Structure 1
């Protein structure tokens, strides 16, 4: 069509009201889709497990440098690390601090300070403390973190590496 030629009424394009109706429909559809996507209930538990693995590795390195055993212990609300002189009481697999040692709970250490779980309560199996020693190679272990129906497994292999499953 040459310039300056008048246009017919049917060739003008979309009106503002038509565009607004389309935008409202797109907004409603977007809101419906975003509300229907349920969050993964295990996401925060997995995030806690990955952070725990990093803190366990830091504690393991601290033990190798310092030489003193560090124990990790959890309850439903969180977990903490403690350094001291540890031994297993007769007839028990649960370590206790000796009377000769004083526990360092790392209250001022950014990496090893006591922490809260993102989702609580978290059940840790087995519930006994984990002792980190200066031995680079040792027996592997496995623990489960559970919150509701979500379960995450944290493992330490014999070479001292930590993994989350």
Structure 2
């Protein structure tokens, strides 16, 4: 009588290999590396995209400031530096012999420190050069001379144009 168990282990030659081969592991690692590189390239910030976003936001805020001027009647000045920009409301007059405005002594400036729309804003793109660098005065005139602002960061440039009708366009 044979007392061998009914489920005896199969001979070694018939067993299925366990685990992955080195080639299979290498293929998986290459695929994971390519996927990681693609994701990291798509996540990296594009300075031109951030500058366009800053320009769209600025155009929206300039239009809001223009509407505020039409309601209130007082001039609002927009001024920028490399770190950001701000709006100021007050009584402005041109300095003799210069196109840069100065404040009269009729009162203090309202700098909109607590205003969500006209409060100070930092550039998202990083340091931005604004051309022309002088302050822009927004008046209650419904029609005005067209003007433009160029925003530059790294190799990217976006131009905001105000047409005679008061509309703001990006180029």
TM-score (norm 1): 0.83
State yes or no: 1:152 paired with 2:158: yes
1:115 aligns with 2:121: yes
C-alpha distance in 2 between matches for 1:51 and 1:137: 22
Distance 1:149 1:55 in 2: 25
| Pairing partner for 1:32 from 24, 34, 37 | 37
| Unmatched runs of 5 consecutive residues or more in structure 2 | 1-17
Q: Structure 1 residues 128, 107: closer, same or farther in 2, change over 3 A? A: same
> In structure 2, the residue corresponding to 1:120 is in which secondary structure?
coil
TM-score normalized by structure 2? Answer: 0.80
Q: What's the CA shift for 1:32?
A: 2.7
Residues 84-118 of structure 1: CA deviation (Å, up to 9, x unaligned): 00110111100111011220000111100011111
Larger Rg: 2
CA distance in 1, matches of 2:140, 2:48: 33
Query: Within 5 A, what are the aligned runs for 1:14-163?
Result: 17=20, 21=25, 23-36=28-41, 39-163=45-169
Is 23-32 or 118-127 further displaced after alignment?
23-32
Matched residue of 2:102: which SS? strand
Distance (Å, rounded) in 2 between the aligned partners of 1:32 and 1:100:
60
Moved beyond 6 Å, runs of 4+? none
Contact 2:79–2:86 at 8 Å: present in 1 too? yes
Q: What is the number of equivalent residue pairs in this alignment?
A: 150
Distance (Å, rounded) in 2 between the aligned partners of 1:80 and 1:35 = 34
TM-align CA RMSD: 1.9
CA drift at 1:16 = 7.1
- Local SS of the residue matching 1:42: helix
